[in-house]
A and B are shown apart, each in its own frame.
Chain A
C-alpha cells in the first residue's frame, strides 16, 4: 500500500523494534518502488495535478493509523522531504514527509482521527489554481468531515461563495448581552466546542461568573454528557412522575428565550430524566384508577411506626404482594414482541432529591418482611441523597410506586418509565362519606390509586384485577406484617 503513497516514512521499520538512530540522516535516496510510483504519477498527470496523500504503512503489522497532528496546515507550501503529518502506528509516532513539492490543499482526515492504511488523508495540489478543485474533491470524499475541512480555511476562489453553511443558526436566538462582553470559556469547554464544531462566541455561559462551561457547550451542541463532568458518581435516574420540580419539556430551539430569562442546562440526572420521559412516548399506555379504604392500614401504620416502618414501605410491600398474584403486571415488554416475566418483584420508588428525581429500588419486596424492607428503604434514601446509589440500586425496578399523597394531592397521573410494565400513582388518604350496601352512611378514609400500564402486555382486566387484590391487601393489612 505504501508503495503507491507519495509519502515515505524515512525510518526503516523492523517488526521488533523501532530505532531512530538514522532519523537525522537524509531521506533514503533509493526508492524501492520507483517504477510503481512513476506509473502512478503519469496516471495522475493525465487527470489533474492533485495528489492524494495516503496513510502510509509504517510497519508490517500496521493496518490503520491515527493522525496525531498535522505539522502543516491547509494552504501551506510544501517542498519535497518536509515533514507534513505525524502518524501514530501500532508501534510509534512518526513524522511523515512529502515526496513531492506542492501545496497542502485539503486535510481529509483531521487530527485525532484514524484512517486505514492506504486511505487518503490529505490532498496535495501542484498549483494554487488547483486548490479549489482539490477542496471540492475532499468535500465529496468525506461528506461532513470534508465540508468542515473546507470551511476552516476561506477558499481563495470557490465557485459558489455560499454563505457559511455553519451551525443551524442559533445566532438570532442569543439575547443581546450587555455590551461587548468578553467571552470566558474553560479549557475543556473550548476543546469541546472545537470537537463538536460549536461556535463558542454563540454559547451563553451559565457557569460561575458567566463563564462558558463544558456543560454549556454540550447543551449548545445538543448532546447529553457522555461522562459525568465531575468524578463523582452521578446515578442516571430512571424516571417517573413524582414530587420533583417538573423538568421543563425541551423547548424547540427556534423559540427565543424572553429577554432577561436565564437558561440553566440540565444536570446529568436531569438530562437522564428528560431522555427517559421522551422515550416513554413510544409506549402505548392507559390508566386505571381505584379507590382504596385505608382505615385498617392507618391503624396498622400507627402500630408499626415506632418500629421504623414508613408508609412507603407499607405501600411497597402491599404492591409487591399483589404483584406476586398478578405476574403480568410485573412483566414488561422489551422488544414489542414478547412478555418478559421478571423473576423478582423489585419495587422502584420515585424520590425527589435536590433538583432531580431518582428511583431507588426495593429488591424482592415480596420476600422481605416489612421491617427489613423499611430498613432497606432508609439506607437507599440515605445513599440517594449522598449520590452513592449503585446502578443496580436504581435501575433494576420492575414496578414503580410514586406517592404524592403527603402533599394533599388526591389523584394524579404518572408516566410509565421505559422498561417497566406499570407504575402506581398514590394520592392522599382522605376521610370520605360512604354509603354501604345496607344504605348506612359512614366516614371512611379513602385513597385513590391510579396505575399507568403498558397496554402491549397489561390489559384493562389485568390491571383491574391487580388493583382489586391490592385494595384487598390494604383493607386487610394484617398479611403485610407476616
Chain B
C-alpha cells in the first residue's frame, strides 16, 4: 500500500524534494554515500505516504518540528499505545546499549534496558575487556623473556614464569569488576534493567521474560536494538570448547596448548597470537585471503608482520580455507583440512593441539521478533540507514525502531556501538545527528599496538581518483622518538594520509608503542574537521610518544594556509 502511494506521489515531487534533502546533507557525494542516498529517498517517500496533506511537513524533515512528524506517524500506525511505559527501551545491555542508556538519561528520557544474559555484553564479558587482561600479561611476559631487551636496559631477570590459573583469574576478575561498574552505573542513574530475552511484538511494543516464566510486555516510544554478535563459526568446524574453541572459550584460558592454529588473522586472531606465543605456545595462522592481516593498511600490515609474526614462533597458510576442523578425541590430535580459497582443491591437513576460530563475528539477531514488523535481516544483520533507523523488507523505515552496534554490522566495534547509540538518542530527543564512521578509531592490542582511523592508503587513493583530488602520504618512525628510544621500543611507524590541497586528514595509521592511545589526536581531528595546517601548531609535551604524531603532522606538505586564526596571544 505504501509503495503505491509513494509512487503516485513521487511523480510530481521526487526531484525537488530529493534535492532539498540532499542540500541539507553535510556530505559531499561519494561512492559509499550513494547508499545513503537511497536511504534518504526512501525516507522521503515513506513520509510522503503518511498523508498527502502533510506534504509540507514532510518537506521540513530536518527542521526542528520533528515532534509533529512523530505524531503524524503515530496516527497512521494502526493502534499504537496511547501512553508508553518508557520513553526508550534498549534491547541488549552491552557497551552500545549502556552508552545509549546513559545518554538517554542525561537527556531526561525514562529508559529501560533488556538483557537476557549478563550486563556488559561481549566486550565486557567475552571480548575486549578480558582480552586486555590477557594481553597485559603477555606484554609483560614478552618483555621479561626478551633477554636482549632486558640487557639493553641493564636489567637482569632470571627465568620468568607464569601461573595459568592466575592469569585466567586476572582476566575473569577484570570482567566482573567492569560488569559491576556498568550495572551499578545503570542502576544509579535509574535505568530499569529488565531481565530476559527481548522480542519485538509490534511497533513500540516489546516482550521479555526468562524461559519458563510468564512474559512481560512493555511499550516504549522508541526502541533500540543492541543485541550485538556472537563468534562466527564457519561450516565444517566442530567447536567442542576444549581443543576447538572460539574467543569465548579462549578468554577463559583453560589451557595453553603447545601448538595452536588460529583461523583468521584479523584483530582477534592477532591479539590471541600475541597472548599464546608469550605464554609459550607455537601458532599457525590460517587466512583465507592472500595476505595476513587483511583490513589493515598494507604498509602497516607489512611492518606488523615483520615484527609481530616473522620473529615469533608463528607460521601461516594464506589463501586457504579451513574446510573441516575436528576436535581432538580418542588420542588423536585436532585435525584441520585446508582447501585452496579459490580452486577449492584439498591442499593440506594440519594436526595440532588446539584450534581457535577467529573468523569474525556474526550478528545475534535470532528470536528478536523482527518478522513481526516485516524486517528481513541481511546475513543476520539488521538493515539500517545512516541514522541507524531500521529498514523493513519493502525498503521503508520502521518508525521508532533503531539498531546499533554489531547487530547492524556497520562497524563492529564496542565504541562504535556506543557512539551510534548516542547518535540515536540525539535524534529522538530532537537533534538530528549523523555519526561520521570515518572518525571512529580502531585498535589492535598486540605488542606493539596497531591503531587506525579513517581510510587506508589504497582506499584514499581510490577515493582521490574518483573524486579527482590528490592524495599524499607522510610517515614518521618511532625510531626518531626520544621516549620510544628511552623505552627501548623504537620499532614503529605512524602514517598520515591526507589531501595536500585542503589539508584534510583522510586517515592515520600507527604501529608502535601505545599506538592505541596515540590515535585519538587524529580521530578527534577528523571528527572535528581540524586541518593539518592548524593542528601542526598544537604543542606536545616533550619527551612523549605523542611527538610521533607531532612530527607526522609537521612533515605533511599542505598547500592551503592556516584556515582559522590561532587564538590571540595572551600575555602571562
Q: Are B557 and A21 in contact (CB under 8 A)?
A: yes
Select which of B284, B353, B480 is within 8 A of A91 by beta carbon: B480
**A170 interface contact, C-beta 8 A:** no
Q: Are B351 and A90 in contact (CB under 8 A)?
A: no
**B303 interface contact, C-beta 8 A:** yes
Contact with A along B463-484 (1 / 0, CB 8 A): 0000000001111110110000
Taking A91-B477, A211-B351 as contacts, is the C-beta distance between A188 and B313 under 8 angstroms? yes
**A432 interface contact, C-beta 8 A:** no
B498 to chain A, nearest CB (A): 10
Enumerate B114-164 residues with CB–CB distance to A below 8 Å: 141, 145, 147, 158-162
Q: Are B472 and A21 in contact (CB under 8 A)?
A: yes
**Residue of A19, A93, A233, A234 with highest tally of chain B CB at under 10 A:** A19
Q: Are B479 and A91 in contact (CB under 8 A)?
A: yes
When chains A and B are docked, how far (Å) is the Cα of A211 from the Cα of B284?
14
Enumerate A45-81 residues with CB–CB distance to B below 8 Å: 68-69
Enumerate A416-444 residues with CB–CB distance to B below 8 Å: none
**B282 interface contact, C-beta 8 A:** yes
Select which of B162, B306, B350, B476 is within 8 A of A17 by beta carbon: B476
Q: Are B315 and A19 in contact (CB under 8 A)?
A: no
Contact with B along A2-19 (1 / 0, CB 8 A): 000000000000001111
A107 to chain B, nearest CB (A): 17
Closest to B314 in A: A187
Select which of B161, B313, B473, B479 is within 8 A of A187 by beta carbon: B313
Contact with A along B152-194 (1 / 0, CB 8 A): 0000001111100000000000000000000000000000000
**Residue of A20, A184, A208 with highest tally of chain B CB at under 10 A:** A20
Q: Are B283 and A187 in contact (CB under 8 A)?
A: yes
Q: Are B313 and A24 in contact (CB under 8 A)?
A: no
Q: Are B351 and A21 in contact (CB under 8 A)?
A: no
When chains A and B are docked, how far (Å) is the Cα of A423 from the Cα of B306?
51
Q: Are A208 and B333 in contact (CB under 8 A)?
A: yes
When chains A and B are docked, how far (Å) is the Cα of A349 from the Cα of B557?
72
**A267 interface contact, C-beta 8 A:** no
B497 to chain A, nearest CB (A): 11
Closest to A20 in B: B475
Q: Are B476 and A19 in contact (CB under 8 A)?
A: yes
With a CB–CB cut-off of 8 A, which chain B residues contact A91? 477, 479-480
Select which of A19, A69, A209, A211 is within 8 A of B475 by beta carbon: A19
**B259 interface contact, C-beta 8 A:** yes
- Interface size (B, Cβ < 8 Å)? 39
Select which of A93, A208, A213 is within 8 A of B303 by beta carbon: A93
Enumerate A218-269 residues with CB–CB distance to B below 8 Å: 227-234
When chains A and B are docked, how far (Å) is the Cα of A18 from the Cα of B492?
12
Q: Are A19 and B474 in contact (CB under 8 A)?
A: yes
**B556 interface contact, C-beta 8 A:** yes
B32 to chain A, nearest CB (A): 25
Q: Are A18 and B480 in contact (CB under 8 A)?
A: yes
Taking A187-B315, A188-B282, A233-B159 as contacts, is the C-beta distance between A23 and B473 under 8 angstroms? yes
Q: Are B480 and A191 in contact (CB under 8 A)?
A: no
Taking A21-B557, A208-B353, A209-B333 as contacts, is the C-beta distance between A187 and B476 under 8 angstroms? no
With a CB–CB cut-off of 8 A, which chain B residues contact A182? 349
Q: Are A92 and B473 in contact (CB under 8 A)?
A: no
Closest to B353 in A: A208
When chains A and B are docked, how far (Å) is the Cα of A190 from the Cα of B316?
12
Q: Are B555 and A21 in contact (CB under 8 A)?
A: yes
Q: Are A231 and B551 in contact (CB under 8 A)?
A: no
**B104 interface contact, C-beta 8 A:** no
Q: Are A231 and B160 in contact (CB under 8 A)?
A: yes
**A280 interface contact, C-beta 8 A:** no
Q: Are A18 and B161 in contact (CB under 8 A)?
A: no
B454 to chain A, nearest CB (A): 18
**A186 interface contact, C-beta 8 A:** yes
Closest to B457 in A: A24
Q: Are B474 and A390 in contact (CB under 8 A)?
A: no
With a CB–CB cut-off of 8 A, which chain A residues contact B351? 184, 209, 211
**B241 interface contact, C-beta 8 A:** no
**B238 interface contact, C-beta 8 A:** no
Q: Are B162 and A16 in contact (CB under 8 A)?
A: no
When chains A and B are docked, how far (Å) is the Cα of A232 from the Cα of B283?
19
With a CB–CB cut-off of 8 A, which chain A residues contact B162? 231
When chains A and B are docked, how far (Å) is the Cα of A213 from the Cα of B259?
10
When chains A and B are docked, how far (Å) is the Cα of A20 from the Cα of B557?
11
Q: Are A18 and B477 in contact (CB under 8 A)?
A: yes
Enumerate A184-211 residues with CB–CB distance to B below 8 Å: 184, 186-188, 190-191, 207-209, 211
Contact with B along A304-343 (1 / 0, CB 8 A): 0000000000000000000000000000000000000000
Q: Are A186 and B159 in contact (CB under 8 A)?
A: no
Enumerate B311-368 residues with CB–CB distance to A below 8 Å: 313-315, 332-333, 349-351, 353
**B280 interface contact, C-beta 8 A:** yes
Q: Are B141 and A231 in contact (CB under 8 A)?
A: yes
When chains A and B are docked, how far (Å) is the Cα of A233 from the Cα of B333?
28
**A355 interface contact, C-beta 8 A:** no
Q: Are B480 and A16 in contact (CB under 8 A)?
A: yes
**A28 interface contact, C-beta 8 A:** no
**A391 interface contact, C-beta 8 A:** yes
With a CB–CB cut-off of 8 A, which chain B residues contact A20? 473-476, 555
**B279 interface contact, C-beta 8 A:** yes
B219 to chain A, nearest CB (A): 57
When chains A and B are docked, how far (Å) is the Cα of A133 from the Cα of B428?
78
Q: Are B479 and A18 in contact (CB under 8 A)?
A: yes
When chains A and B are docked, how far (Å) is the Cα of A362 from the Cα of B306?
48
Q: Are B258 and A208 in contact (CB under 8 A)?
A: yes
With a CB–CB cut-off of 8 A, which chain A residues contact B556? 21
A229 to chain B, nearest CB (A): 8
Select which of B259, B306, B315 is within 8 A of A191 by beta carbon: B315
Closest to A14 in B: B480
Closest to B350 in A: A184
Select which of A16, A187, A232 is within 8 A of B284 by beta carbon: A187
Q: Are A190 and B479 in contact (CB under 8 A)?
A: no
With a CB–CB cut-off of 8 A, which chain A residues contact B280? 229-231
Closest to A233 in B: B159
Q: Are B161 and A233 in contact (CB under 8 A)?
A: yes
With a CB–CB cut-off of 8 A, which chain B residues contact A233? 158-159, 161
When chains A and B are docked, how far (Å) is the Cα of A232 from the Cα of B279?
10
Q: Are A23 and B333 in contact (CB under 8 A)?
A: no
Taking A228-B159, A231-B280 as contacts, is the C-beta distance between A92 and B259 under 8 angstroms? no
Q: Are A231 and B161 in contact (CB under 8 A)?
A: yes
With a CB–CB cut-off of 8 A, which chain A residues contact B145? 231
Closest to A94 in B: B477
Closest to A211 in B: B351
Q: Are B476 and A186 in contact (CB under 8 A)?
A: no
Closest to A90 in B: B479
Q: Are B282 and A186 in contact (CB under 8 A)?
A: yes
Enumerate B23-80 residues with CB–CB distance to A below 8 Å: none
Select which of B147, B159, B283, B284 is within 8 A of A234 by beta carbon: B159
Q: Are A17 and B258 in contact (CB under 8 A)?
A: no
Q: Are A231 and B279 in contact (CB under 8 A)?
A: yes
Q: Are A21 and B474 in contact (CB under 8 A)?
A: yes
Closest to B496 in A: A21
Q: Are B258 and A92 in contact (CB under 8 A)?
A: no
Q: Are A17 and B480 in contact (CB under 8 A)?
A: yes
Enumerate B74-127 residues with CB–CB distance to A below 8 Å: none
B330 to chain A, nearest CB (A): 12
Q: Are A19 and B551 in contact (CB under 8 A)?
A: yes
Q: Can you show 6 pairs from A to B with CB atoms below 8 A apart?
A: A18-B475, A18-B480, A93-B477, A209-B332, A213-B258, A391-B158
Known: A17-B477, A19-B551, A92-B479. 15 other contacts (CB 8 A): A19-B475, A20-B474, A21-B472, A23-B473, A90-B479, A91-B479, A92-B477, A186-B282, A187-B259, A187-B283, A188-B313, A191-B313, A211-B351, A213-B258, A231-B279
Which 8 residue pairs of A and B lie closest in terms of their CB atoms, listed nearest first? A19-B555, A187-B315, A233-B159, A20-B475, A188-B313, A92-B477, A17-B480, A91-B479
**Which residues on B are within 8 Å of A, measured CB to CB?**
141, 145, 147, 158-162, 258-259, 279-280, 282-284, 303, 306, 313-315, 332-333, 349-351, 353, 472-477, 479-480, 493, 551, 555-557
